[in-house]
Amino acid sequence: MPDDELSRRIYRAARQLLPEMDITTRRVVEDLLKKAEDGAKTDNKIIEIISRDDTLREKFRSLLPVSYRSLSGFSSLGGYPHPTPGLTYVCPQCDYTRVLGEVGEEPGECPTHHVVLIPQAQKGH
C-alpha cells in the first residue's frame, strides 16, 4: 500500500473533519494541511492531533477506508526469538533431566522412578 496514497487519504479525511473541530485545533490542522499542500509530510502530526479527541478520532476512523483504519504502527518481526536457557528440572533419584520453557509448566515425572521432577538447584540440598 503506497504511503503517498495513505497520506492523501488522511489529508482528505482531515479536511472533511475541519468543520467539527474547535477553533484552535482547526487552525493547527489547517496549517498542517497547508504545509502538506506545499509538499511537507504532516499526516502523522495530523493523526496525533485528531487522536487527542475521542469523538474526532472515531469520526476520523470512519472516514478512512477500512484497510487504513487501524492507524496502527505495530507489526511483528519476521524472525524467531533466540532461545535463552530454560528451567532445568531433574529426577531426585537419577540423572533424568528435562528443560521447561517457562514458569507455569508442569515439570512432570521421571519415567523410571515415577517421582515428580525437582529444580536442578534443589537436588544438592
Partner 1 sequence: MLTDFLTELTKDLPGKWLERVFGPAFLFWAGGLLLVVGPQGLAAWWQYLLILPALAQVGWLVAALLVLNASATVMERLRLPLLRLLEGYWPWPLRLLEAPLIALARRRVQRQRERWSALMQKRESQPLTPAERMELARLEQSLLDFPPDLADLRPTAVGNILRGVERRIVHRCGLDPVLLWPRLWLLLPEDARQEIAAARESLDRLAEAWGWGLCFLVWAFWQPWAVPIALVWMLLAAWLARSPARTFAVLVQSAFDLYRWRLYEALHFPAPEEKGDVEVTAGQSLTRYIQRGV
Question: Which residues of this chain interact with partner 1, rule CB under 8 A?
Answer: 51-52, 62-66, 69-76, 80-83, 85-86, 97-106
DSSP category for residue 109? B
Nearer to partner 1, 26 or 59 (CB): 59
Q: Least CB distance from residue 62 to partner 1, whole Å?
A: 5
CA–CA distance, 12 with 1 (Å, rounded to integer) = 17
Least distance from partner 1 to the Cβ atom of residue 105, Å: 5
Q: Which amino acid is it at 123?
A: K
Q: Round to whole Å and give the CA distance between 79 and 87.
A: 23
User: Taking the complex as a whole, how short is the minimal distance between the CB of residue 39 and partner 1, in angstroms?
Assistant: 27
Q: Which is nearer to partner 1, 38 or 67 (CB)?
A: 67
Nearer to partner 1 (CB atom), residue 24 or residue 72: 72
Nearer to partner 1 among residue 2 and residue 83 (C-beta): 83
User: Can you list the pairs that 68-72 forms with residues at least 24 positions away whose Cβ atoms lie under 8 Å?
Assistant: 68/1, 68/6, 68/9, 68/10, 71/47
Shortest CB 122 distance to partner 1, Å: 14
> Residue 50 belongs to what H/E stretch?
helix 43-51
